[in-house]
């Protein structure tokens, strides 16, 4: 199985939130973790919004190290074109459509780890497997 980890799930690794331990456990259960560069932008934004001082600096360091271990799906013309099609078809939020297109691009059998209920609903409507939400 390949686990596509979206921002809502990965952020729980650095910020103690509801379901943080579940998210960390699910990520630890899969040797192949995948995400996209959009996750980098979203996580860094949210870390800056939620943390400060030494906690922020520590979370940024851990995130940078963790991101190096992920397989990253390119946000190229193919992925962005698929994201646009998903957005048109489902009317989901733009960033969600990018995550979903990247997860599809990661290959058949990819499971999406998300705690975003709207994204999870759209993923299921597209026939994708979802863990978390």
53 band by pLDDT with thresholds 50, 70 and 90: very high
- pLDDT in the model for residue 59: 98
Q: What is the value of pTM for the model shown?
A: 0.94
As a whole number of angstroms, the longest Cα–Cα distance in the chain is 43
Q: Which domains does the chain have, with CATH numbers?
A: 2-132 (3.40.50.1010)
d(C-alpha 62, C-alpha 2), whole Å = 22
Q: Are 5 and 39 in contact (CB under 8 A)?
A: yes
Would you say residue 32 has pLDDT above 90?
no
- pLDDT in the model for residue 44: 97
1 band by pLDDT with thresholds 50, 70 and 90: confident
Would you say residue 83 has pLDDT above 90?
yes
């Amino acid at each position: 199985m390949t686990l596509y980890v979206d921002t809502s799930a990965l952020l729980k690794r650095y910020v103690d939130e509801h379901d943080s331990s579940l998210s960390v456990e699910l990520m630890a259960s899969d040797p192949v973790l995948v995400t996209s560069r959009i996750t980098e932008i979203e996580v860094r934004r949210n870390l800056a919004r939620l943390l400060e001082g030494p906690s922020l600096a520590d979370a940024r360091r851990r995130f940078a190290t963790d991101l190096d271990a992920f397989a990253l799906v390119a946000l190229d013309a193919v992925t962005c074109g698929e994201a646009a099609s998903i957005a048109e078809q489902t009317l989901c939020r733009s960033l969600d459509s990018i995550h979903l297109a990247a997860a599809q691009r990661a290959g058949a059998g990819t499971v999406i780890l998300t705690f975003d209920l709207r994204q999870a609903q759209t993923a299921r409507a597209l026939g994708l497997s979802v863990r978390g939400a």
